[in-house]
Amino acid sequence: MLKILLCFGTRPEAIKMAPLFHELKKEKGFEVVVCVTAQHREMLDQVLDFFEIMPDFDLDIMQPNQTLNKLSATILNKIDEVLEIVQPDLVLVHGDTTTSSMVALAAFHLGIKVGHVEAGLRSYNKQAPFPEEINRQFTSKLADFHFSPTVGATQNLLNEGVLRDDIQETGNTVIDALLWTIEKISKEGFLHPEIASLKKTLPKDKKVILVTGHRRENYGIGFINVCNALLTIATRDDVCVVYPVHLNPNVQDVVNERLAHQDNIYLIPPVSYPAFVWLMQQSFLILTDSGGIQEEAPTLGKPVLVTRTVSERPEGVAAGFSKIVGINQNEIENSICSLLDDFVVFDDNINPYGDGTASLQIVNFLVNNYR
């Protein structure tokens, strides 16, 4: 019996690990234990509830205005006790969070194998995304098994000296989660209060621009420029801007000050994952600094404008699904207008980030290589 500990702490991690959890649970030879650090608390709990996951351990580390150093130290300290109790054969972490890198380090210190889901993404700019780029590279140095989502991610790992036998290219588990969610919310009789409320609130005769933003490197002038661009775009009669505003005060203060009570702009609290998937389905285009949305949107046929200067997800850009617009106000405005006026549909809707079988491929790798 292989004992596997899944550890994650943020909403995006939970979304991407949820389908893997359920796929692992199907395998009789695995004992699956879940630990959440709750690096995001409320947003994490919504995902756990929707995907029907009950954690075995909850470190509950979220504190107001917590520094990265304090967060890292707390995770490293608290996960140590969990690892001693569980004594897993393998720890699975995801992506680029502080939770992932600190849990991987703690497992390494105890001689426990580490599997890294969504491995190999790189911007090679340690300030963008910050601190995620270094978290991801650091985790790669500690991992024993690397589950890469794309050809490019695999090549990055090979370039850095990771052995080919330790890499399994699977696609991204977020596509598994997206397809699972679409199926669930599309079922007749499925009721969701947030979706019902949004249906009543949003106009049905306008092109929806869905906006998200949370990156640390965009705090300050970055969010100011994005808001100013949205103010200009919202003067068009054919659009409405829907912006679920991140809970971080560095985001909320700027967005609420500049965009509250403006025509054609709907500022709403962060929504649950199923409600956000529904919003993506309704949108005409998406303006975001999120990595996960860059991966999900091609499956839905939605163009994405990325408010970052560099992305560790170049496949979507290369395939024409997304465009990097940075935080220049004029570039954001011009790119939005170009899509509003000219975009019809993508010629090729094959998502470069996966086909919805990533979790199954990871489980098959573990069955065949780790017994």
Q: Locate the DSSP E strands across 219-352.
A: 239-244, 265-268, 285-288, 304-306, 322-324
One-character DSSP codes across 323-363: EE-TT-HHHHHHHHHHHHHH----S----TT--S-HHHHHH
In angstroms, rounded to a whole number, what is the distance separating the alpha carbons of residues 232 and 264?
11
Mention every residue, 6+ apart, whose C-beta is less than 8 A from residue 265: 230, 231, 234, 240, 241, 243, 259
Contact indicator for 213, 226 with CB cutoff of 8 Å = yes
- Torsion over CA: 41, 291, 298, 174 (sign): negative
In angstroms, rounded to a whole number, what is the distance separating the alpha carbons of residues 33 and 330?
49
What letter would DSSP give residue 30? E
In angstroms, rounded to a whole number, what is the distance separating the alpha carbons of residues 145 and 192?
38
In angstroms, rounded to a whole number, what is the distance separating the alpha carbons of residues 302 and 282?
9
Identify the H or E element spanning 259. helix 249-259
What residues are labeled active site? 96, 118, 132, 214, 216, 246
In angstroms, rounded to a whole number, what is the distance separating the alpha carbons of residues 279 and 273?
10
Sheet holding 285-288, edge to edge: 265-268, 239-244, 207-211, 285-288, 304-306, 322-324
3-state secondary structure of 41: coil
Mention every residue, 6+ apart, whose C-beta is less than 8 A from residue 289: 212, 213, 214, 215, 218, 306, 307, 308
In angstroms, rounded to a whole number, what is the distance separating the alpha carbons of residues 19 and 47?
12
One-character DSSP codes across 83-100: HHHH--SEEEEETT-HHH
Contact indicator for 290, 10 with CB cutoff of 8 Å = no
